Chains A and B, each alone.
Chain A
Amino acid sequence: MTMQGPQESPRVLEIGQRVHGRVRAARSAVAALSGRVTQDHE
């Protein structure tokens, strides 16, 4: 008898990847704003 537990379902994996993509997009947008603010200071 195998005792291997189930992994998260493909649907949950997909949501995890989507949320991660949105986090990356949000942080990239903040970095882009940071770049613009720095430019404005120069």
Chain B
Amino acid sequence: MSDPRLSIEGRREGVEEVLVEGRPAVEAEISAARRDVEDALAAAESRLAEVTSVSPEALAARAAVISPVLSGAMERPEALLNAYRRRFGDLTDRRLLEESAQVVIDGLAGSDGGQFAQGWNALQGELSMQRPPEERQALDDRAELSELSSYLDSAERLVRLDLAALEPGGLSDGQMVARPLPEAEVNRYESAHGLESSQPRPAG
């Protein structure tokens, strides 16, 4: 009769051999997907910068004209909202007012900045359809790619946990508790985008 300890050790080695052999193919798919997303995100950022580009000279000239609103923004942030609504169609003014609003949100953080930020975000949402089509396209692409990047983060976590589960020690309690979250995120993304589930079907 064989020594069971040898048999257990042999199985452990067999499992490790299988994983060492198979892991690179899994890693290669995830790395290639990561490169695809990063390249596309960089291209989307670049496209957005291109369609919202304003020369420093134009910004400086308009900053001088709308300086009453910009300089009083901390004391009267509602003036920023009014000016933003009225001047939304002018890219240069819009850029200046957006930068000022961000300064106000940061400056009022912890006091009533939350209320201003809420009003500001609501107004931006309301006016977003007035952005030129190429700008909306660039923003939509960037948002979609950010979501794709989050999907890939979740898929990578899930794949790593599933690989860890095959190790002789299996998953720790913490890893088992952690697994449902990335799995739910992966399922949610695939379902929302009408994609076939990436969950492999059981053999048989």
Q: Which residues of A contact B (CB under 8 A)?
A: 3, 5-9, 11-12, 15-20, 22-37, 40-41
Interface size bracket, B side: 35 or more
Top 8 nearest A-B pairs (CB, nearest first) are: A31-B200, A22-B33, A26-B29, A8-B144, A33-B22, A24-B198, A23-B155, A40-B14
Answer yes or no: B36 CB below 8 A from chain A CBs.
yes
Q: Known contacts being A27-B159, A37-B15, is A12 close to B141, with CB within 8 Å?
A: yes
- Residue among B33, B140, B162, B163 making CB contact with A19, cutoff 8 Å: B33
Answer yes or no: B181 CB below 8 A from chain A CBs.
no
Task: Known A-B contacts: A20-B195, A30-B162. Give 13 more (CB < 8 A).
Answer: A5-B129, A8-B140, A9-B141, A19-B37, A20-B193, A23-B29, A23-B152, A24-B200, A27-B162, A35-B203, A37-B19, A40-B11, A41-B15
Kindly state the separation between the CA atoms of A28 and B163 in the bound complex, as whole angstroms. 12
In the complex, which residues 163-204 of chain B have their Cβ closer than 8 Å to any Cβ of chain A? 163, 165-166, 186, 190, 193, 195-196, 198-200, 203
